[in-house]
């Protein structure tokens, strides 16, 4: 479903290969590891210098790939003067979806309380919930989400993971920083310096404690060993 072969972006990604048929894949790694670059390349927002990626057989920049994926960048741009509901209406129209999809997205992310407020006065977490609802509306088969829960409170995180859990088909790729969330993924991919360092189940990857990954101790193991 998502196939990546030797993907390169100068100075940022040094040749990454991955294959995700289905399920939730967490991308872990310290700041600057290349997680956002990989997701932006998969979303077609960046052009690679080498290698290739396919989303259900389509190149990321092929217009046919657009309706197949949801992409949430690390700092989503939302027009500040629009009301939350207008942002969602815009996403719904662009995606050619019915009202039901919008209502589902509102319910999933709990947006009922601030639908009529302009983006400019929303809190950081409210904006993130809105951006997620707009991106995931219609439930495309592939989700590419860059630190989707970074600004969310515990309830918002639960709502997000409940939505992930309700997704029965498809591939979800998430850049993550927290161990407790990484444990919920089906597979984890550790990136560092633009390369894949390890790949495996959360148990395998989070159990790694060798000298190649000293940053794991600092970045991932907030909990006492
Ligand atoms: N436009 C750019 N031009 C050149 N280098 C860039 C550009 N954007 C990012 N980089 C560099 O690419 C590397 C990978 O960055 P990237 O944002 O993909 O990392 P990340 O793993 O998502 O990090 P974080 O956890 O901080 O979000 C970093 O060293 C970064 O400084």
Model pLDDT for residues 3-24, shown as the tens digit of each residue: 999 999 999 999 999 999 999 9
pLDDT at position 194 over 50:
yes
Task: Tell me how far the alpha carbon of residue 29 lies from the centroid of ligand 1, in angstroms.
Answer: 12
* pTM listed for this prediction: 0.93
pLDDT, position 133? 97
- ipTM for the whole complex: 0.96
C-alpha angle 92-94-100 in degrees, rounded to nearest 5? 20
Domains of the chain plus CATH, in order, are 2-78+141-220 (3.40.50.300)
Asked whether 153 and 123 are in contact (CB, 8 A), the reply is: no
Of all protein residues, whose CA lies closest to atom 16 belonging to ligand 1? 34
Average pLDDT along the chain:
92
Whether 36 lines ligand 1, by a CB cut-off of 6 Å, is yes
pLDDT, position 207? 78
Q: Name residue, tokens 């950081």.
A: 124
The pLDDT tens digits of the residues spanning 47-74 come to 999 999 999 999 999 999 999 999 999 9
Mean pLDDT value across residues 169-182: 91
Listed residue (212, 214, 213, 187) closest to 201, CA to CA? 187
pLDDT at position 225 over 50:
no
pLDDT at position 99 over 60:
yes
Whether 159 lines ligand 1, by a CB cut-off of 6 Å, is no
pLDDT, position 204? 86
pLDDT, position 218? 60
């Amino acid at each position: 479903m998502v196939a990546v072969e030797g993907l390169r972006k100068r100075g940022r990604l040094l040749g990454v290969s991955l294959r995700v048929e289905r399920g939730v894949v967490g991308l872990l790694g310290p700041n600057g590891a290349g997680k956002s670059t990989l997701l932006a390349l998969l979303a077609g927002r960046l052009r690679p210098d080498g290698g290739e990626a396919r989303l259900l057989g389509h190149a990321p920049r092929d217009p046919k790939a657009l309706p197949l994926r949801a992409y949430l960048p690390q700092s989503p741009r939302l027009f500040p003067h629009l009301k939350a509901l207008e942002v969602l209406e815009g996403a719904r129209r662009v995606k050619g979806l019915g009202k039901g999809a919008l209502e589902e997205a509102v319910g999933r992310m709990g947006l009922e309380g601030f639908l009529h407020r302009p983006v400019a006065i929303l809190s950081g977490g409210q904006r993130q919930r809105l951006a997620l609802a707009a991106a995931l509306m219609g439930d495309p088969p592939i989700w590419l989400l860059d630190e989707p829960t970074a600004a969310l409170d515990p309830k918002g995180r639960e709502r997000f993971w409940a939505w992930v859990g309700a997704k029965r088909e498809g591939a979800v790729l998430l850049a993550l920083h927290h161990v407790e969330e990484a444990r919920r993924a089906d597979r984890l991919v550790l990136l560092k310096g633009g390369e894949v360092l390890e790949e495996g189940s959360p148990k395998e990857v989070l159990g790694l404690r060798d000298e190649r990954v000293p940053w794991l101790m600092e970045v991932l193991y907030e909990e006492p060993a």
